[in-house]
Amino acid sequence: MTTITDPPKESFRLSQLIYDTRYRSLTFQAIAAMVLALSIWYLGNNLIQNLRAAGLNISFDFLRDTANYDISQRLIEYDSQSSHSRAAIVGVLNTLLVAFLACITATIFGVIAGVLRLSNNWLVRKLMAFYVEIFRNIPVLIWIIIIFTIMTAVLPGPRAFRGDEPEASMVLDAFAFTNRGIYTPGPVWGPGSMVVVATFIASIFGIVAYRKYATNLLYATGRLLPTFWPSVGLFFLPTILMYFIMGKPIGLDIPELTGFNFSGGIKIGGPLIALWFALSIYTGAFIAENVRAGIQAVSKGQTEAAGALGLRPGRVMNLVVLPQALRVIIPPLISNYLNITKNSSLAIAVGYADITATLGGITLNQTGRAIECVLLLMLFYLTISLLISAFMNVYNSSIKLKER
């Protein structure tokens, strides 16, 4: 009879740290930790010595100092007596503004171009391929400069709108395209206008509730309610009715030429337009490729199967093709949005006062606080991109194919 004994317990030998795969990773990590700590110590030491030699210290007190510079494009109250931190907040809002606008228009351009690239029409297909290749292969900085040049060097000055036979005239008598920016009519909120706005918001909720009801009814009883026209009606009718009931409280402030410049309405500055439009068409070309890839990723069998089930083309698109295509399109779309936000930092090239131009540009040059400014700048962009990628992870896990 044989007895099975445990193999003799080996005592730990030092050589195991190198030759035994169980312990080797510990050795490597210890070495890596040491190298890391040494380089951090080395860089930090250099930093301290350099700062001491230059008579500098790291402090964020400068944020409370008076900024002493003006920002023409701003969303909140700001003047040259405000603090640097206020200027930075103006910059943050401007960055978010241009990123938001560019995301919307880039999506529109991209979807149109992407769908048209799959068109049956040879000429349109080639034209869109041309658009995509041209815009993807030329740096966005050059596009921004080109559009900014159109804005400043090609468009007429406000002076050209003067006189009996002006060289330039306003489009539809409401929009003025000048080299100082584009002037558009702006709303004037009279008393009672809030009621109209509230009605509008309520009707949006009404549309959502109606569509939900229609879907539930369809699933419960199989009865199909019309949704399109009721939605359109709900969207417009209550608001327009309320508008007249309240006695037209919302007016239009149309820009007018007074003296040497336009006044009234809303002014959209040239730098904002240049940045917005350039980012949109540049990123639109990338989104077009994503859209095309997404639609092509849905196999033809899916469309044919949906047709075989008796679905009409509109429903095939809505219920079968789009949900599957969106699964492919949306993740790269969101990373394109992230790219727009990061590329909006090129605002500094055309003088748009985003966070890079205020905090990383003028504030940095005025105060000389390079390290603090650049750190804050990075922190801001890092926060934005981490937020967006966190959102993307949530989205990705929610659309993941539920497999058993």
Q: Which residues bind other proteins (CB under 8 A)?
A: 25, 28-29, 32-33, 36, 43, 46-47, 49-51, 53, 116, 119-124, 127, 133-134, 136-142, 145-146, 149, 153, 342-343, 345-346, 348-349, 356, 360, 364, 370-371, 374, 377-378, 381-382, 385-386
Sign for the CA dihedral angle at 232, 235, 238, 239 comes to negative
Smallest gap from Cβ 98 to other proteins, in A, equals: 13
* Three-class secondary structure of residue 175 per DSSP: strand
Smallest gap from Cβ 4 to other proteins, in A, equals: 28
User: For other proteins, which is the closer residue by CB, 196 or 384?
Assistant: 384
- List the one residue out of 380, 383, 364, 362 whose CA is nearest residue 372: 364
Using alpha carbons only, give the angle 228, 234, 235 rounded to the nearest 5 degrees.
90
d(CA 291, CA 296): 8
Smallest gap from Cβ 343 to other proteins, in A, equals: 7
User: For other proteins, which is the closer residue by CB, 111 or 348?
Assistant: 348
User: For other proteins, which is the closer residue by CB, 267 or 292?
Assistant: 292
Instruction: Write down the residue that tokens 């210890």 correspond to.
Output: 30
Smallest gap from Cβ 365 to other proteins, in A, equals: 9
Q: Are strands 261-263 and 186-189 parallel, antiparallel or unpaired?
A: unpaired
β-pair partners for 182: 177, 268
User: For other proteins, which is the closer residue by CB, 202 or 379?
Assistant: 379
Smallest gap from Cβ 277 to other proteins, in A, equals: 15
User: For other proteins, which is the closer residue by CB, 153 or 220?
Assistant: 153
Smallest gap from Cβ 271 to other proteins, in A, equals: 14
- List the one residue out of 77, 86, 96 whose CA is nearest residue 272: 96
Show the beta-strand stretches assigned E in 121-278: 176-178, 181-184, 186-189, 250-253, 256-258, 261-263, 266-269
- List the one residue out of 179, 390, 143 whose CA is nearest residue 280: 143
Smallest gap from Cβ 51 to other proteins, in A, equals: 7
Helices (H) and strands (E) in the chain, counts: 14, 7
User: For other proteins, which is the closer residue by CB, 272 or 364?
Assistant: 364
User: For other proteins, which is the closer residue by CB, 93 or 132?
Assistant: 132
* Three-class secondary structure of residue 66 per DSSP: strand
Note the residue count of the chain. 404
